Amino acid sequence: MAKTAVKSRASAAKKPAKRPVAKKVAPKAAKAPKFVYLFGEVEAAQRYAKTWDGVRSLLGGKGANLADMTRAGLPVPPGFTVTTEACNAFLAAGEKFPPAMWEQEVAALRAVEKLAGKKFGDPKNPLLVSCRSGAKFSMPGMMDTVLNIGLNNEVAQGMIALTGNERFVYDAYRRLVQMYGTVVLGVADEPFEEVLEHHREKHGVANDADLPAEDLKAITEEFKAIVLKEAGIPFPEDPLKQLELATTAVFKSWNGKRAFDYRKAAGIPHDLGTGVNIVTMVFGNMGNSSGTGVATTRNVSDGSKELEGDFLINAQGEDVVAGIRQTEPIAHMKEVMPKVYAQFAKIAKQLEKHYRDVQDVEFTIERGKLWMLQTRDAKRTAAAAIRIAVDLADEKLITKAEAVKRVSPDHIDYFLHPQFKASAKKAGQQIATGLNVSPGAAVGQLAFDADTAERLAHKEKKAVIMVRPETKPDDVHGMLAAKGILTSRGGRTSHAALVARQFGKPAVVGVLTMDVDVENRKLTTKEGVVLTEGDWVSIDGTTGQVFAGQIEAVVPDFNDPYLIKLLKWADGIRKLEVWANADYPRDAERARMYGAQGIGLCRTEHMFFETERLPFVQAMILAKSPEERAAPLAKLLPFQREDFAGLFKAMDGLPVTIRLIDPPLHEFLPSHDELLRAVAEAEQKVASAGRERELLNKLGDGAGVAKLEAEVVAVEAKLAEDKKMLAAVEGMREQNPMLGLRGVRLGIHMPELTRMQVRAIFEAACDCAKAGVDVHPKIMIPLTAHSNELKVQQSVLEEEAKQVMAEKKTKVDYMFGTMIEIPRAALVADRIAEYAQFFSFGTNDLTQTTFGVSRDDAETGFLMEYLDKSILPENPFASIDQTGVGKLMKMGVDLGRQTRAKLDVGICGEHGGDPKTIGFCHQIGLNYVSCSPFRVPIARLAAAQAAIRNS
């Protein structure tokens, strides 16, 4: 070989050099993405995803946490996760597995076989697995699960030989066939339930757990027959085919109606996809040394520091969460399995400390050995969320800022919602008591299924209580539509309880003394009370009580110590002040109690609508001259002065912003169409009276004629009055009154009206100041579009203010400012700030004028269509349109402060109570937001969360 090689090299040296020819190299096939991760491969997943949040996005919350628990050495059955990326690729490809995914899944299954020491499909040593969904954000029960995959006739016989427990094997087998039928093939639950009910009745037992082995074997075959009849295809005996179709079903369930509705309600993006978790089965139904449960590491109803949950001996997990059997409290496990309970309690503490939050855990005990099947951040009620956040901060597990971040505005909102009056409950007809799983008071008419609940609530605008034996994931649309949820079965971790807590719906579950007959639309209690669909019921999710009829509710006292503590922390973090919109002293008092730091909007026109004042307002409007107008204005002055004095006293030491009259004057007069109809009817009566008079004269009925004459006189007097009013209304009628003579324009046109209001403000302020009240009036001129409008109006009003203070020999600090609610005002805010000492954005009108729409017309018309078709991402009247209206706001702030560096700027439209808008107001540098008194606590939290996000 050596010689040949040398010769070749020598020969080559003698030959002329050849030009090298490029070889054709076949392109390398692109390496398939990694779609499957074993639980032990969490480090690889983290390298790929970069962050733990990325791991949760990739593997889903359930898969990520199972892998994390495996890494921590906790007892987790071997398994793997098919990624959310695979799910999205599957859906994008028309529901086909992406290339190489199935091969990776089978390879991972082989690795699990080695870890478990069992073989999938092998009758001698069978491995069974579960197939469960798991998205980044928890969606309990919204997607599909299949248990006991790998069972067939041959494997079942092998398991019987191994375990000596025929009952256990056929209990697992019939569950697989039923789940496969309902989840994979879409067969309805009812045929399966009818079979189970028949066998329970035959043996006189209440629970499936009490059925003997021979019945479970027969049930398995009957279930297979149902699958064949209803789906048209047989139950597959091939374990790999079972796994393939189960994986497909879980992927497809991401786009199922219940999952879609849940994501929409919870604000979860629709493009995340779900992971698929394949986990070695462990069995809680292998006798009295086995069991299963679901628990939270703290009480998620009230937040107290104790384990809470449900437990069953000799059962599988679905029995607990689906409410199939009445559960025992988790404390029962301490009595029957003390060693396992101690191990579980220790792990629960470990998980809570590791994740720095309350955990919702699923576990199974197989022949005395504890297995952890899931952990996730627990859903909790509003009251529990606040207490848990405060307690975790006090325990130094999280910071105060993190505690503030963890509480949502909806949690605060709960404390501002009605609860039943104690006296009303005492007088009411209590018909039952169940488990108090989600607090709050709910009153509504009974609806026995989800579709009916949704129809009654949305189409007929009725308050609904949805009642079911137990809820299922397919019921979620009805649960979201209902005011409250009532079930006869289920426990604290049942589907109904989880969804109710997630969405703040009052719920009472597990009412054992109540029979719910869905088919006949009838509810019957143990005492014989019968209620049917449409009957009124009241449920107290705080106590678990159920009442017939409607119980009166009241807004609770704002004195929860945990809430008060959390909001104080929020106040120490936020930069924005929170003020309130209040027109009356009682509103101001409530706002102050809720933590308002001022009044950002008092609408003076609301005071004009009161019965005793309206005649003077109308007389003022109908007056022909300023001199004629003086008398009714003089009558209104003391009313207005009293109003403002009440506000100053309620807000002693805090600013009170009073907006001068804003709406067009026609709003204080009768409707044009109603007046026209009244005049026409009166004229017809007068005309017909002539004919009636002739007839009465012929009959010689003098008394009838006299009575008729009196009636005609009254009708003619009212007719003259109505004609005068109609002429006035027609005289001031405008094609578009909301863009007509109103706001500052009306003040310039009728200066005596706004002068009266300013006089009332300053007389009240001076009187209060003399009495020791610390007053800070801010007078706000509405609808300014041009700086000259402000120049003219403000000079007249300042003159009046100075005159009153001279008369009263008292000085008060005050400010004059304007609302920015017309796009032009934002565009020329630098000029307007030459006169205005403060700005307040009136975002309702600013949104209307920027979009060029009428809110009242749009929200009952095309706007809903725009939202449905995603033309607009959200309702601009609910949350500020940051790219359009928001741009004008930022321009207004920046330009205004170019002229007046320390210009106070706030917002007083309804948007002021919207958390998203509050975050935007923080970003553009507003000084305060002003909202309804009931939104003040929510705004305090949202302002703090905005400060945290932007720090």
**How confident is the model at residue 13, as a pLDDT?**
38
In angstroms, how far is CA 99 from the centroid of its own chain? Answer: 39
Q: Average pLDDT in the 247-264 region?
A: 92
What pLDDT does 425 receive?
86
Compute the distance between CA of residue 102 and CA of residue 82 in angstroms, rounded to an integer. 9
> What is the band of 431 on the pLDDT scale with cuts at 50, 70, 90?
very high
Q: What whole-number distance in Å separates Cα of residue 117 and Cα of residue 111?
A: 10
d(CA 550, CA 429): 10
So what's the pLDDT on residue 29? Answer: 56
Predicted confidence at residue 860, as pLDDT, reads: 65
Q: What end-to-end distance do the CA atoms of the chain give, in Å?
A: 76
Q: What pLDDT, on the 0 to 100 scale, is given for residue 826?
A: 98
Cβ-based burial of 387 (10 A; exposed 0-12, middle 13-18, buried ≥19): buried
* Assigned token pair, 538: 């009241």
Q: Per the structure block, which two tokens stand in for 350?
A: 């470990």
CB neighbours of residue 804 within 10 Å: 19
The answer to whether residue 8 scores a pLDDT higher than 60 is: no
Q: What is the DSSP track for 500-522?
A: HHHHT--EEE--TTEEEETTTTE
Binned at pLDDT 50, 70 and 90, residue 10 comes out as: very low
Q: What are the backbone angles phi and psi of residue 577, rounded to the nearest 5°?
A: -80, 155
Q: What number is the average pLDDT over the span 584-601?
A: 94
Q: What pLDDT was estimated at residue 899?
A: 98
Residue 333 structure tokens? 């496990």
> Which range is least confidently modeled, 148-157, 212-221, 272-281, 416-425?
416-425
Percent of the chain with pLDDT over 90: 69
Mean pLDDT calculated for residue range 506-529: 93
pLDDT for res 556: 65
pLDDT of residue 424: 86
Q: Pick the most confident of 97-111, 287-301, 413-427.
A: 97-111
- Give the torsion through C-alpha atoms of 935, 938, 943, 944, to 10 deg: 160
Q: Categorize the per-residue pLDDT at 4 as very low, low, confident or very high, splitting at 50, 70 and 90.
A: very low
Q: Which of 602, 768, 908, 921 is catalytic?
A: 908
Q: Are 41 and 63 in contact (CB under 8 A)?
A: no
**Confidence category of residue 16, pLDDT binned at 50, 70, 90:** very low
- Given a cut of 70, whether residue 364 has pLDDT beyond it is yes
pLDDT at 740: 82
For 790-838, how does the pLDDT look when each residue is reduced to its tens digit (9 = 90+)? 999 999 999 999 999 999 999 999 999 999 999 999 999 999 999 999 9
pLDDT at residue 17, rounded to an integer: 44
Q: Tell me which DSSP letter residue 141 carries.
A: T
Cα→Cα distances 338→283, 294, 330, 345, Å: 19, 17, 12, 10
Two tokens, residue 598: 């001022």
pLDDT digits (tens, 9 = 90+) for 161-207: 998 999 999 999 999 999 999 999 999 989 999 999 999 999 999 88
Q: What is the pLDDT of residue 865?
A: 87
Residue 13, sorted as left (phi over 0), alpha (psi -120 to 50) or beta, turns out to be alpha
What is the structure's pLDDT at 413?
80
Catalytic residue among 495, 666, 911, 922: 495
**DSSP type of residue 913:** G
Q: What is the 3-class SS of 145-214, one letter each residue? A: EEEEECCCHHHHHHHHHHHCCHHHHHHHHHHHHHHHHHHHCCCCCHHHHHHHHHHHHHHCCCCHHHCCHH
**How many angstroms separate the CA atoms of 853 and 847, rounded?**
8
- Angle (deg, nearest 10), helices 495-503 and 257-266: 30
**Residue-level pLDDT at 557:** 66
Q: State the pLDDT at residue 867.
A: 86
Give the confidence band of 438 by pLDDT, cuts at 50, 70, 90.
confident
- How confident is the prediction for the chain on average, in pLDDT? 90
Cα separation, 868 vs 457, in Å, equals: 19
Tokens of 189: 């639950």
Q: Is 477 a catalytic residue?
A: no
Cα–Cα distances in angstroms (integers) from residue 128 to residues 69, 131, 213, 250, 365, in the given order: 21, 10, 20, 18, 16
CA distance 915 to 902: 25
Burial of residue 699, with CB atoms counted within 10 A of its CB: 0-12 exposed, 13-18 middle, 19 or more buried: exposed
Average pLDDT over residues 891-920: 95
- DSSP assignment string, 312-367: EES--HHHHHTTSSPPEETHHHHHH-HHHHHHHHHHHHHHHHHHTS-EEEEEEEET
712-747 core/surface letters (b: 16 or more CB in 10 A; e: else): beebeeebeebeebbebbeeeeeeeeeebebbbbbb
H or E, element range at 897:
helix 885-899
Residue 794: φ, ψ to 5°: -70, -35
Reported as type and span, the H/E element at residue 857 is: helix 855-859
Q: How many CB atoms lie within 10 A of CB 630?
A: 14
Give the CA distances from residue 902 to residues 412, 523, 825, 897, 926, in Å, rounded to whole numbers and listed in that order: 33, 65, 19, 7, 11
Assess contact for 849 and 842: CB atoms under 8 A: no
Average pLDDT over residues 388-408: 97
Q: What pLDDT is recorded for position 30?
A: 65
What separation in angstroms does the CA of 257 have from each of 184, 189, 265, 475? 15, 17, 12, 10
Question: What would the two tokens of residue 455 be?
Answer: 């129809």
Our CA dihedral for 380, 292, 495, 64, rounded to 10 degrees, sits at: 60
Contact (CB, 8 A) for 929 and 578: yes
Q: Which helix (H) or strand (E) holds 749?
A: helix 744-749
Q: So what's the pLDDT on residue 173?
A: 96
The confidence band for 20, taking pLDDT boundaries of 50, 70 and 90, is: very low
The per-residue pLDDT for 9 is 33
DSSP 822: S
Q: Is 908 a catalytic residue?
A: yes
Query: Binning pLDDT at 50, 70 and 90, where does residue 863 land?
Result: confident
Confidence band for 726, pLDDT divided at 50, 70 and 90: confident
